[in-house]
Structure 1
Amino acid sequence: VNDFNIEGRYPDFKYVFYKKATKEFAEKYLTRMKEFYECTRRLI
């Protein structure tokens, strides 16, 4: 289970993730996802 797989039945973990999910956190993961997408797209 990673930070993105938290279900509503874990309110404590959900709150911790909410506090961690800053703009910088989101931008970091968005950049990584875009890089992964571009790399994968080039392989097709």
Structure 2
Amino acid sequence: MLLISPTLFQLIEHPVLSCIQLAHHQLKLLGREWAWRIVARHMTSEDHP
């Protein structure tokens, strides 16, 4: 059985969680940017067939 002290666990866990949150935030921004590009492309292609 592996026992980790709470402080050590927090030291290990916190950077990993912050990295995951940062990556998730970047992915959301990237996805929103791509969504806007696709929407804009569809709107312009409909305006100018």
1:42 pairs with one of 39, 43, 47: 39
Task: Calculate percent identity across the aligned residue pairs.
Answer: 8
Greater RCO (CA < 8 Å, at least 6 residues apart): 1
Q: State how many pairs are aligned.
A: 25
Bigger-Rg structure (1/2): 2
Tell me by how many angstroms 1:42 deviates: 0.5
Query: Runs in 1 of length 4+ with deviation above 6 angstroms?
Result: none
Higher fraction of helix: 2
* CA RMSD in angstroms, aligned pairs only: 1.6
